[in-house]
Chain A
Amino acid sequence: MQPRLIRLLIASRFSRPLIGVMIFVLVYSVLMGFFVPPEAVQMGEFWTYYIIGITAFFLILMTMIGGIAIMKSDLDYLFTLPLSRRELAVSFYITQFLATGISYVLLFGYVFIFIQGTSAEKLMLAGDMVLIGLLQTALSIVSFRLETRQKALLAGAMGVYALLPLAGFSYSFTSIFTGHILEGTIVIVILNVIFNYLALTQLSTIELGFTKITSIRSSAEYKTTEKFVGLSQRAAIVRRYLSEISFTGRFNLGGSVSVRVSRIRLRTLLIPVAAIAVVYGYFALIFNPADGSPGVAVVLSMMYLGIFIPMFFPEVFSHERAWLAFSSMTAKNYWTYIVYAKVIQTFAMMLPFIGVNIVLAIIGVSGAVNAIIYLGMVLPTSPLISLYFSGKYSPAQVIDMETLPAEFSLRQLATLVPVIFFTAAAIVSMFSIILALVCGAFFITIALAILMGNKRWNRIVYRLTEKGFV
């Protein structure tokens, strides 16, 4: 074991302030777990659905966007050093855990508030959560070499398996949350042994396989091609940006910077979105309180959309090329057309949810009308606000798809500030229809104000260039 190697890896990947915040949140979470009484948080039996849903979500996410926190400099310098493969693998595993698995451990506090049982059981559960974090880490490593379809299969299998305890099945890792701590723990241990074995094997051969990984993972040609001949400027930009979807992997305090762009047709994207919307509708119906206040399922779902949707946009621009885009068109027009495409994309993704909410509103589910306003007025402004924010405060450009642009830092998390606004707006919108409309008007006004003004967009271009964007 080489502590110096681990220190080097951590220091070259995480900035100090970020590590500070990670430690703070961990301590906060643990303290909260011990001192906040369950009565203080009104979740009722929805809690079980919630924690199991989150667990499934994390595992799916990590498997789908999994990658190894290797940087270009590692390939050029570190791997050429005479270090033992095992030590390298273990050190990489630890940094990988800090970048991915730790996000699950940070949930610890929230879980501990609600868990009932003897102290032995509680202790076991605490250990299980760390183990699920390790499982998450292993999955993110293992999935790195898989093709998209294989990844989706693995992610889907883990997701379904995680959800089974909701149907009364007690031999899943999430059955620790439905009162079957022993069975759940056994499953967790078995899965950990399998996936961590695969992950460590993979890490210990990583430098040999690196060039191969890029070719295994995806083919050298696109299956579908887009035609741009004969299109106007706007039509060309809209066609490209409607078929590209990016997602910022800076989703947790582990700061796993993963800037992924996939090409996926809007039609194809709408299928899973519609499925999720139907599941949402089901839970909103079940957890519809009699007193007329918005149900916990509606509130949480809107909050999660408020967190999730804006995260599609900060990196939209990271695959742009200033030398091509802004030497061809004025900055304002180029940005405007991208935003136009992304607003259409967001609207399309919201439509299934809006549809479900209309049905819910007719049935009389409380909060559904507020949700329609939020989904139709507030969230569609998120592409513009997120894009502007990241362009102004933390622009990043991805030149080489397979390696990380830089270390994880707090500044990168700044691009996620709009997420806070949209989450807050989701909560505020739930109080009353009037407040929801006020929120809608407010966000639309801000968005229009940003869109006006030529100078603003030129200034962003200068800023990008000064940051080394080409």
Chain B
Amino acid sequence: MPKRARVPMREQDPEERIKNFDEVALGYSEEEALLEADRCLQCPKPKCVEGCPVEIDIPAFISLIKERKYKEAYRKIKEKDSLPAITGRVCPQENQCEKTCVLARVGEPIAIGRLERFVADYCKENAQEVKKEPFNGKRVAVVGSGPAGLTVSADLAKLGYSVTLFEALHLPGGVLTYGIPDFRLPKDIIKREIEYVKALGVEFVPNVVVGKTILLDELLKDYKAVFIGSGAGAPVFLNVPGENLLGIYSANEFLSRINLMRAHLFPEYDTPLKVGKKVLVVGGGNVAMDSARVSRRLGAEVTILYRRSREELPARLEEIKRAEEEGVNFIFLATPLAFSGSNGWVDAVECQEMELGEPDESGRRAPIPKKGATFTLKVDTVIIAIGNRPNPIISKTTQGLEVGRYGEILVDPATGKTSKVGVFAGGDIVSGSATVIEAMGAGRRSAIAIHRYLTTGVW
């Protein structure tokens, strides 16, 4: 069994990188990738594949890297994952393939994500084949251009469908564009994937809110099937006193101002953002880490306040580590009780200390308030990153579309079929806030199901 540790990935130095928005992780060189690929045992019953939500043939692509057949390796990944350059960067590998990799039991698992990213970056210019079947006479509409919508669109275009992709915002990409910052996922990578989808003939229509600009029921008159990939874009607030004071943002607002509207480049770009010297980020997921790290880059002192303990932080390990390296402070086991301010601007937050009780429905130990234990923090900016819910615009304006408790669209998980004939859904609108790879996987399953439905005519 090889004892060699995994090959580290070069990163921008923390001192330097908090002064820019350039990508932090620099990726493997060819030599590094070959060295890392060489650690793979090529297990006959590969455990890693079991951990992958879309079952990429991981040993096969790693073996192709060993043979220096990078294009082939890229195509192998693309069989299952339509966005390798993106998932290689943002997948929580430590909970997926790298968690189940056999080597994880005896030491460090193979750096599968880094290898995936290497292959995708290596092939960025020329491995994407714009090959598709001739037009089959059928039109499909896709709502939302996040990873789910992009995947369905590309897959169906390849099969010969005419696909129209509607997006509410002025730019495509969903959370990839408005949520995840450049230093984790550079915009040119998303652009490249979108160019590919367009090259396949998908017609991209921005600035259309389905349910407002056009009703879903109207789309069904012009299109044989509709896929809804509208994400979980509605921010959850704490609902505590003082939350509407100035200087308090939802993470969605804060991150959209930066990523979508480029507020960090004000006044070259017109959208402003005001960030003070002391930022408090409430939450512990990727969204919280991103908000904290953006704030650092805007020159603030940043503290993350999380109601559980370090072990329960839901963010990717790598991002937690990088946030720490960048000087983000953490306060665990506490939650805001109230905000107070002067002249309308927030200047302090009263917090409640928590302790962990019995596991709740999520399987994690539930935070419960510690009697009488409160403290106050001085802050001038607060970012609330405690979660997002499905946006109800479509379900509220569509007849016969069944939704669950939080407004999530109810579907058959194998196909994405909703309660409404001809309508499919997938990604965060179904699962609630989840991951890029799961949204992509759901898109792929629905593409197959839509193809079957429109070929056989059987719902």
Q: Say whether A associates with B.
A: no
Which B residues have a C-beta under 8 Å from some C-beta of A?
Answer: none
